[in-house]
A and B are shown apart, each in its own frame.
Chain A
Amino acid sequence: MDYASISSNLLYVAFIAYLVATFFFGGAIRDKRAAQKKTKWATFGIAVTIIGFIAQIGYFITRWIASGHAPVSNLFEFTTFFGMMLVGAFIVIYFIYRLSMLGLFALPVALLIIAYASMFPTEITPLVPALQTNWLHIHVTTAATGEAVLSISFVAGLIYLIKTIDQSKRNKKAFWLEFILYTLISTLGFVAVTLTFNAAHYESSFNWVNKSGEQEQVVYHMVPLVGPHQSEWTDGNDIQPLIDMPAIINAKKLNTVIWSLGGGFVLYWLIRLILRKRIGAALQPLVKQVNSDLLDEVSYRAVAIGFPIFTLGALIFAMIWAQMAWTRFWGWDPKEVWALITFLFYAAFLHLRLSKGWHGEKSAWLAVGGFAIIMFNLVAVNLIIAGLHSYA
């Protein structure tokens, strides 16, 4: 077996380990004996998590050997690495606070991220000249690690919100909490829809007219709900789009988004019908044992640890590399700007906490907001805004 295939097998192992560990942590919190002390379930949970983490480090190293460069050079590799560091950050925080509950939520988030990553081309890509430097792994890994630690803050904040938000009646907060959960489920929707169409080998080609009036070709791998501007079917599965989009809109991406949100919607309501209540309300009893102050502390601590790492990786190292590769340390490229926005957001978070006393629920909402910005920078800036960083 060559390194490349060892590598992908190790990633499977890691994925399955995280899945198994999630169930162990689920068992740990059901264990009535103790909420925060060591139980067998929690010990198994963290052990399996560490096994998964080691397997994923194995994936990382073998893929590095196979390709000759750090596997953080395209969207799949970067996002997978981000998922790995999220697990790593969880392990560290777990050993500080011994909070099983965190595992029950952090691991599924990591699983979603890795699954999402795998929907993009996974083959090993050679490096374009701009990426051929050690700064590739220095900058990208540090930035991803910082973001991963900051994401732990989101996980703790989310648990805090699930625990404390009043679920007894309809209200704005309960709605937005459901919205967060729905967004997470939509990621699952995206994965499910993509896997389904891939399994069916769905493919259909269209000619369309772009905004300059020129004819172009596009290949859909999902049933076209929305087609490109003046689309004309040419090849493959013969299903016509319901409606054509104007030339300004990238119809193929919009189609994927609609499918993912739709898939998420179906999943969400399926779960909700089974539970017969809001998902937040169903999760609430599970988390009631955790101390809110501890959650708040974990959420804040993760920002305190993650913020310097993020600044170092995503701003300082980024500037050093940009100076070398692009001749200037700062060029207002969208990805750069969104790293700055993330920095400013967490700076505001820290100041609000230190000076205005935004603890507890307010702080938890901010942690969610910060994660939303990180995800926006990861997903939307790469796929929609596209600047110098859109290698994927």
Chain B
Amino acid sequence: MKHVKCECGHVNPHGTILCEACGKPIAEETTDKLVDMRYEGSARRSQTYNKTVIDKIWNFFSSVKVGIWIIIVTLVASAVGTIYPQEAYIPPNVTADEYYQKEYGWTGELYYKLGFHHLYESWWYLLLIAALGMSLVICSLDRVVPLYRALKKQSVTKHPNFLKRQRLYSTSSSWTDQDYEHVKSMLKKRRYSIREENGNLLAEKGRFSRWGPYVNHIGLIIFLLGAMLRFVPGMYIDEVLWIREGETKVIPGTNGEYFLKNHRFTVETYDKDSESAVFQEAIDRAGNNKVAKKYEADVSLYKREGKLIPGADPKLKKIKDSEIRVNQPLKFEGYAMYQVDFKLNEFSSMSFHLTDKNANRNVGSLTVDLHNPKETYDLKNGYKVKLMSYFPDFFFDDEGNPNTKTRVPNNPAFVFKMITPQHKKGEVAFVGIRENLEPLGNNDYKMTFAGVETKNVTGLTVRRDYTLWFLGIGGAIFMIGVIQGMYWNHRRMWIQKVNNEIWLAAHTNKNWYGLKKELNGLLESTSLTQLKDQNDKETK
């Protein structure tokens, strides 16, 4: 590859715009326009090569213009996804194709047909994010290496053409050596690092802020990679656990290692009488006991000891008692359990009397555990009740037969066989909520409803997410980079003797106002000419 030798003697890589050492514009044009200081005029790969397919892809993604377009397209696409709720947020009991049409008319239908109801999971949205990642990596690499070279190789003595085409610039024809020394010491005081060469001076500070953008881009890349890690098996577990009061259940996703017992689940609401006076008005507006105050599950965490033997009850060792509340998940061994849902007053058991209809006399009573019913209830003295069928969530199916919708006792119904001294073979009764049928003719006995017990159920989410560390590190690096780049700036000042004059020039990557104020403050007590902003056409 051709190298370009500058008149100062420095050999620059092919494609350099401003000599890395002295700053002389390589492709010399005689113009008074300010030099383009972006990336120090260094040779960027994308501006230099364009031959192979890789060059072409590289060049495409290395363009900040392309990057900005990707950002804007992502922005617009993201906005489109908020016009109607995403599929994840629609009510669970309707299907998406009905919901959008019914709720939002033809626009909703169109939204659904275009797939915008799961826009953020769509292939093209993921492709956009991938393109953004590509752009981040290539844009950064294309610039950071040559920029590093250029800043490292810069020399103190600059080409006059470089100096006079800086935005802040001045010439002074009379000065004293004291002026020079004064400015130098003041610059030192302001923490500029000073390099001198043949009576010329380069003062520089905050160069590290130039790396801010690249640091934050690295952070973003780590973050995006972290988000992709979720698809690696074992990195991410997301399970649901519904658990009733008094129940002990294995925690899904833990390979049968951990068990959870729910002692009690409570919901508290804001009550006018017990809350302090400042909340009265707000409670009045929302309604008394209408606003939730606390969702809490009282639980114990157990660990299984020994091997898992199918059929046998596992041996459990208690690890800890804990409360799980919203915002206060239970954490153990990389897992976290969150309070997310609940069901109050689920039927847990029902009690019945066996009643002699003729004598109107109860001859015994029984309680059916709705989650674990027995087959036979022996009421002594020749009385016995057999549970022939049990429908926890009773309904009549398409064929008109009794059936159950779910395993949850929302609407329990039973077929009992009542065995009594009079009826040794038993009488059959169908008992449900507010239903008592005698399908095989008139009976002498009946099952009378005696009471019901309810329990609360808590809905927990079980999470284990090993990607969080990655995301956290990515986020932290991003913040460091963005602060490094935004809250500091890279300032340089050149003092150079050119043809019996002293030339001052200064450059910063941002905050020109601050730089000008700082440097002109230093120059105030000297006979050197104040720096002028050559961009400013308003002030004279």
Listed in ascending order, the chain A residues whose CB lies under 8 Å from chain B are: 2, 4, 66-67, 97, 121, 123-126, 128-130, 132-133, 135, 211, 248, 291-294, 297, 300-301, 304-305, 307-308, 311-312, 316, 319, 323-329, 331-334, 337-338, 340-341, 344-345, 347-348, 351-352, 354-356, 381, 385, 387
Listed in ascending order, the chain B residues whose CB lies under 8 Å from chain A are: 38, 64-65, 67-68, 71-72, 74-75, 78-79, 81-82, 85-86, 88-89, 102-105, 120, 270, 275, 278-279, 281-283, 285, 291-295, 325-329, 336, 338, 340, 461, 463, 468, 471, 475, 478-479, 482-483, 486-487, 510-513, 533, 535-536, 538-539
Q: A291-B539, A293-B538, A331-B88 are in contact. Are A356 and B65 (CB under 8 A)?
A: yes
Q: Knowing that A304-B511, A308-B479 are A-B contacts, what are 8 other residue pairs whose CB atoms are under 8 Å apart, sorted by A's residue number?
A: A291-B539, A292-B538, A307-B486, A312-B479, A334-B85, A338-B79, A348-B71, A354-B38
- Could you say which residues of chain B place their CB within 8 Å of the CB of A340? 78
Residue of A2, A325, A345 with highest tally of chain B CB at under 10 A: A325
Contact between chains at A387 and B327 (CB < 8 Å)? no
Contact between chains at A305 and B468 (CB < 8 Å)? no
Contact between chains at B292 and A128 (CB < 8 Å)? yes
Contact between chains at A307 and B64 (CB < 8 Å)? no
**Complex Cα–Cα for A333 and B279 (A):** 29
- Could you say which residues of chain B place their CB within 8 Å of the CB of A334? 82, 85
Contact between chains at B486 and A66 (CB < 8 Å)? no
- Could you say which residues of chain A place their CB within 8 Å of the CB of B104? 248
**Complex Cα–Cα for A125 and B336 (A):** 30
**Complex Cα–Cα for A128 and B326 (A):** 10
B3–chain A nearest beta-carbon distance, Å: 27
Contact between chains at A332 and B86 (CB < 8 Å)? yes
**Complex Cα–Cα for A337 and B116 (A):** 14
**Complex Cα–Cα for A340 and B278 (A):** 36
Q: A129-B292, A248-B104 are in contact. Are A385 and B281 (CB under 8 A)?
A: no
Interface residues of A: mostly helix, strand, loop or mixed? helix
- Could you say which residues of chain B place their CB within 8 Å of the CB of A211? 102-103
Contact between chains at B64 and A126 (CB < 8 Å)? no
- Could you say which residues of chain A place their CB within 8 Å of the CB of B539? 291
**Complex Cα–Cα for A360 and B328 (A):** 49
Contact between chains at A344 and B78 (CB < 8 Å)? yes
Query: Which of the residues A301, A308, A338, A354 comes within 8 Å of B483, measured between beta carbons?
Result: A308
**Complex Cα–Cα for A294 and B512 (A):** 9
**Complex Cα–Cα for A6 and B364 (A):** 68
Contact between chains at A97 and B282 (CB < 8 Å)? no
Contact between chains at A344 and B68 (CB < 8 Å)? no
Enumerate 25 A-B pairs (CB-CB under 8 Å) in ascending A order. A67-B279, A124-B279, A128-B291, A129-B293, A132-B326, A248-B103, A248-B105, A293-B535, A297-B512, A301-B511, A308-B487, A312-B479, A316-B475, A327-B338, A329-B468, A331-B88, A334-B85, A337-B79, A337-B81, A340-B78, A348-B68, A352-B68, A355-B38, A356-B64, A356-B65
Contact between chains at A351 and B68 (CB < 8 Å)? yes
**Complex Cα–Cα for A293 and B78 (A):** 34
Look across to chain B and name the residue whose beta carbon is closest to the beta carbon of A312. B479
Contact between chains at A385 and B82 (CB < 8 Å)? yes
- Could you say which residues of chain B place their CB within 8 Å of the CB of A301? 511, 513
A42–chain B nearest beta-carbon distance, Å: 18
B539–chain A nearest beta-carbon distance, Å: 6
**Complex Cα–Cα for A133 and B326 (A):** 9
Contact between chains at B326 and A130 (CB < 8 Å)? yes
B105–chain A nearest beta-carbon distance, Å: 6
Residue of A4, A300, A308, A341 with highest tally of chain B CB at under 10 A: A308
**Complex Cα–Cα for A125 and B291 (A):** 10
Contact between chains at A348 and B82 (CB < 8 Å)? no
Residue of B68, B328, B461 with highest tally of chain A CB at under 10 A: B68
B323–chain A nearest beta-carbon distance, Å: 12
Contact between chains at B482 and A307 (CB < 8 Å)? yes
- Could you say which residues of chain B place their CB within 8 Å of the CB of A328? 463
Contact between chains at B120 and A291 (CB < 8 Å)? no
**Complex Cα–Cα for A97 and B74 (A):** 36
**Complex Cα–Cα for A341 and B81 (A):** 11
**Complex Cα–Cα for A351 and B217 (A):** 13
- Could you say which residues of chain B place their CB within 8 Å of the CB of A348? 68, 71-72, 75
Contact between chains at A129 and B278 (CB < 8 Å)? no
Query: Which of the residues A123, A126, A294, A332 comes within 8 Å of B120, measured between beta carbons?
Result: A332
A159–chain B nearest beta-carbon distance, Å: 14
**Complex Cα–Cα for A316 and B483 (A):** 14
Query: Which of the residues A129, A292, A308, A312 comes within 8 Å of B325, measured between beta carbons?
Result: A129
Q: A124-B282, A248-B105, A352-B68 are in contact. Are A344 and B326 (CB under 8 A)?
A: no
- Could you say which residues of chain B place their CB within 8 Å of the CB of A341? 75, 78-79
Residue of A66, A316, A355, A381 with highest tally of chain B CB at under 10 A: A355
- Could you say which residues of chain B place their CB within 8 Å of the CB of A121? 282, 285
Look across to chain A and name the residue whose beta carbon is closest to the beta carbon of B82. A334
A353–chain B nearest beta-carbon distance, Å: 9
Residue of B38, B88, B327 with highest tally of chain A CB at under 10 A: B327
**Complex Cα–Cα for A331 and B81 (A):** 12
Contact between chains at A129 and B471 (CB < 8 Å)? no
Contact between chains at B82 and A304 (CB < 8 Å)? no
- Could you say which residues of chain B place their CB within 8 Å of the CB of A324? 327-329
- Could you say which residues of chain B place their CB within 8 Å of the CB of A319? 471, 475
**Complex Cα–Cα for A354 and B213 (A):** 11
- Could you say which residues of chain B place their CB within 8 Å of the CB of A381? 82
- Could you say which residues of chain A place their CB within 8 Å of the CB of B79? 337-338, 341
**Complex Cα–Cα for A211 and B487 (A):** 53
B290–chain A nearest beta-carbon distance, Å: 11
Q: A291-B538, A332-B88, A356-B68 are in contact. Are A325 and B326 (CB under 8 A)?
A: yes
**Complex Cα–Cα for A308 and B219 (A):** 14
Q: A331-B88, A356-B68 are in contact. Are A126 and B78 (CB under 8 A)?
A: no
B505–chain A nearest beta-carbon distance, Å: 18
B352–chain A nearest beta-carbon distance, Å: 38
- Could you say which residues of chain A place their CB within 8 Å of the CB of B328? 324
**Complex Cα–Cα for A338 and B80 (A):** 11
- Could you say which residues of chain A place their CB within 8 Å of the CB of B279? 67, 124-126
Contact between chains at B486 and A305 (CB < 8 Å)? yes
Query: Which of the residues A124, A338, A344 comes within 8 Å of B278, measured between beta carbons?
Result: A124
Contact between chains at B278 and A66 (CB < 8 Å)? yes
- Could you say which residues of chain B place their CB within 8 Å of the CB of A385? 82
A300–chain B nearest beta-carbon distance, Å: 7
**Complex Cα–Cα for A20 and B38 (A):** 45
Contact between chains at B71 and A351 (CB < 8 Å)? yes
A40–chain B nearest beta-carbon distance, Å: 23
A112–chain B nearest beta-carbon distance, Å: 25
**Complex Cα–Cα for A107 and B285 (A):** 33
- Could you say which residues of chain B place their CB within 8 Å of the CB of A333? 89
A362–chain B nearest beta-carbon distance, Å: 13
Contact between chains at B482 and A308 (CB < 8 Å)? yes
Query: Which of the residues B275, B291, B327 comes within 8 Å of A325, measured between beta carbons?
Result: B327
Contact between chains at B82 and A297 (CB < 8 Å)? no
**Complex Cα–Cα for A308 and B481 (A):** 10
- Could you say which residues of chain B place their CB within 8 Å of the CB of A130? 326-327
Contact between chains at B65 and A344 (CB < 8 Å)? no
**Complex Cα–Cα for A304 and B511 (A):** 10
B452–chain A nearest beta-carbon distance, Å: 29
Contact between chains at B64 and A351 (CB < 8 Å)? yes
